[in-house]
Chain A
Amino acid sequence: MTTNGWLQILFFLFVVLALTKPLGVFMTRVFNREKTFLDPVLRPIEKLLYRLTGVDETREMRWTEYGAAMLIFSGVTMALTYLIERVQNRLPLNPQKLAAVAPDLAFNTAASFTTNTNWQAYVPETTMSYLTQMAALAYHNFISAATGIALAIAVVRGIARREKDTLGNYWVDMTRATLWVLLPACIVGSLFLVSQGVPQNFKPYTTAQLVDPQTVQITGADGKATTQVVREQTIAQGPTASQEVIKEFGTNGGGFFNANSSHPFENPTPLTNFFELVLIFAIGSGLTYTLGQMTGSPRHGWAVWCAMAILFLIGVTATYSAEARGNPLVQTTANHLQPIGNMEGKEVRFGIANSALWAVVTTDTSCGAVNSMHDSYTPLGGMIPLINMLLGEVIFGGVGSGLYGIIVFIILSVFIAGLMVGRTPEYLGKKVEAFDVKMAMLTVLIYPLFVLGFTGISVLAPKFGLSSLANAGPHGLSEIFYAYAEAGANNGSAFAGLNANTLWYNSTIGATTLFGRFFMVIPVLAIAGSLACKKHVPESAGTFPVTTPLFTGLLISVVLIVGALTFFPALSLGPILEHLLMYAGKVF
């Protein structure tokens, strides 16, 4: 680890901290439908959208209708994405004449983009046309993010409202999240990225003449090696910047190129890297302030922010130190190899510090974009991203989903505090009762059910499970475990050695993304609906305050203990075992 590395990490956290209040205040105004400086431009567009689509913006919805509208909209948009993928060969903006996407892959991709996951079982530059990337995939980057924000706001309203049975209007919240929060920042941000070298055009791929033509060995399908001279380089381009910015800001993570944000066209400089990192954390961090402001307790918002920041710093310290220590199997005192850490799968311009920082940020949230290849991380360095997802991505978290995820853990925390003193637990003036705790436990239990279940089936199935592995030994278990962990957590990053473009993985990972998103959302909305109906109880001497360092500490403990109890056995057979074997000098 270097001083300069830590300087970058702490400066990043400082910038995120500085953005939290302004963004939080702005989002509160947007969702309370108060005036903002963008109204003169956006209000007419908003009104036009409602007129065209038949939305009554004054109508309030109960939690059931709010959830149903969200599910229906997700279903319809997912169907359209599937359709566009299946007929992209007959649509315009396909200069590379790419074929229609296969049905299982098209389903997996549609499910994963609808749920804000952005798992990519395909190589974008050889699979998806420009139109598919723009109108199907980047489109979902907006809509799934706006839906996440809308759901979080509905849950916050549930806490804030007193004796009311409605949570707002899904269509209005989703539209305002898109128009006010996402779109303006994306237009400005994408132009900034272009200025730094991210392409934005509709041209066919460029063919360049190599300066130094190469003789390469190619092994054909029959196993015979032939020698070939390569004289050209095909340079894939396209409308990259407009997708790149929403991919980070909406914590989606689906790359325009296969190599994602490690690709020099997606992320050309350390400055774009820093900018993209801030985009990933910005909304999740701002929403903690919105939570505090809308519920009348800004200090509660900061207490939650502190819990997240501490968990973030623990993760980044662990990953950074593991990667900086490097791989003992190549780093021996005899071979004079430069001791700068594990550079396999990392870019020179980012180095160890920025790669480790990104790996933690992208898995603290549901982003899943990568600027280095997690599969090649050291066992402990790669375990932290895995743990971040297994904890439910509540460290700033996905846009919206991070906030409602942490609220579930807050409810469990006040419940546990209530048990200790023998009183009915309260949260911001609302009594937390049996129904609320049951729903909170349901969201906590659904996730491991799918993740551990499918991982278990896959490792027991040599024909369709293990056959996709790129790495043997405990690392193989980590690859499969990581795949379902990211799917259930809607992350979308990968231990990318796993060949996931098979019928088994496409269908089960696709299903896990859907369960991970929608089975979690429904109990959370139920909690919000239940809390909204309740009377306000004034704070008393027996109330556990949710604004103190004690609360922050308890919240951190609950998040870590729930995660550890559920997943420690699987982690010990994967990354922890691999770590021990690596230091014993074992290879696979």
Chain B
Amino acid sequence: MKKNFMIAIRMTIATTLLLGVVYPFVVTGLAQVLFPKQANGELITVNGKIVGSRLIGQPFSSPGYFRPRPSAAGTGYDAGNSGGSNLGPTNKTLIDRVNGDVQKLQAENPAMPVPMDLVTTSGSGLDPHISPEAAAFQVPRVARERSMTENDVRALIAKHTEGRQFGFLGEPRVNVLELNLDLDAVHPLH
């Protein structure tokens, strides 16, 4: 018993060094050499300023931008405090929120069914994507605000739409931050 106890102490120290220190440092070293962009969060820089990460959603509320999904992370898209709403399916707060948002969106664009993802929060609160339907739903508003033709806006959406990976994995999606940055680049708001 005493022998096993001494082994346990020495084994704890040795394996902590191997698995808790050497392993992550080796992986970090290799990652920084092989994939420097991905290993550092795929940050996007505009005019020398970091404006976000390609993978992390960001809040947009001005009518000239495509809006992302509602977010339950902090005050909205808080990338230092990720998380979902955790509201259950019979929770009045959830039902009232969704039905209220559905009404608002129906008023904005009565021609299309309201996209489900625009009235539900994501699991992370940082979902960088909306569905192609949710992007198409917002085309009339964005085109009007930016004095663009709807077809020009649709062409930009098509450029930022990713299909299913290898044709069958996941769901088609549009990256909201990249789409909005591209909008600003080709047709600034002011």
- Give the interface of A toward B (CB within 8 A): 4, 7-8, 11, 49, 52-55, 65, 68-69, 72-73, 75-77, 80, 123, 125-126, 134-136, 138-139, 142-143, 171, 178, 183, 186-187, 190-191, 194-203, 205-212, 214-216, 218, 228, 230, 233-237, 239, 241-243, 257-259, 262-265, 268-271, 273-274, 326-327, 329-330, 335-351, 354-355, 370-373, 375-379, 470-475, 478-479, 495-497, 578, 581-582, 586-588
Contact = CB atoms under 8 A, between A and B. Distances in A.
Interface in B12-52: 12, 14-16, 18-21, 23-24, 26-28, 30-32, 34-35, 38-43, 49-52
Contacts of A200: 27-28, 31-32, 39
Nearest to B86: A497
B133 A338 contact: yes
A526 to B, nearest CB: 18
B138 interface: no
B83 to A, nearest CB: 5
A115 B113 CA distance: 48
9 contacts: A77-B16, A135-B16, A138-B24, A208-B52, A237-B40, A340-B116, A373-B86, A475-B88, A578-B88
B149 interface: no
B168 to A, nearest CB: 6
Given A194-B31, A209-B51, A348-B130, 11 more contacts: A80-B12, A142-B15, A187-B23, A199-B41, A243-B24, A262-B122, A269-B170, A326-B116, A338-B133, A343-B120, A375-B86
Interface string B79-120: 111111111111110110011001100100000011111011
The 8 closest A-B pairs by CB, nearest first: A270-B170, A262-B123, A135-B20, A497-B86, A373-B84, A259-B82, A259-B124, A351-B171
Nearest to B134: A348
B51 to A, nearest CB: 6
Contacts of A375: 84, 86-88
Contacts of A337: 102, 113-114, 116, 119
B24 A578 contact: no
B53 A235 contact: yes
Contacts of B34: 191, 194-195
A54 B10 contact: yes
Contacts of A230: 59, 75
Interface residues of B, number: 107
B170 A349 contact: yes
Contacts of B39: 194, 199-201, 241
Contact of A497 (B14, B62, B87, B92): B87
Contacts of B75: 214, 216, 218, 228, 230
B31 A211 contact: no
A423 B116 CA distance: 59
A5 to B, nearest CB: 9
A543 B85 CA distance: 54
A333 B95 CA distance: 16
Contacts of A373: 84-86, 123
B153 interface: no
Contacts of B76: 214, 216
A550 B7 CA distance: 46
Contact of B58 (A80, A233, A257, A268): A233
Please indicate which of the listed interface residues B5, B18, B24 has the most CB atoms of chain A within 10 Å of its own CB.
Answer: B24
A325 to B, nearest CB: 11
A341 B120 CA distance: 11
Interface string B135-172: 00000000000000000000000000000111011110
A206 B76 CA distance: 17
Contact of A268 (B55, B89, B169): B55
B107 to A, nearest CB: 12
Please indicate which of the listed interface residues B38, B62, B123 has the most CB atoms of chain A within 10 Å of its own CB.
Answer: B123
A274 B7 CA distance: 39
B113 to A, nearest CB: 4
B127 A237 contact: no
Given A274-B169, A336-B106, A208 B20 contact: no
Nearest to A471: B88
B93 to A, nearest CB: 9
Nearest to A351: B171
A349 B56 contact: no
B92 A211 contact: no
B186 interface: no
Nearest to B112: A336
B41 A206 contact: yes
A196 B35 CA distance: 9
A135 B22 CA distance: 10
B170 A351 contact: yes
Contacts of B113: 336-338
B58 A209 contact: no
B90 A372 contact: no
Given A199-B40, A207-B50, A212 B120 contact: no
Contacts of B102: 330, 335, 337
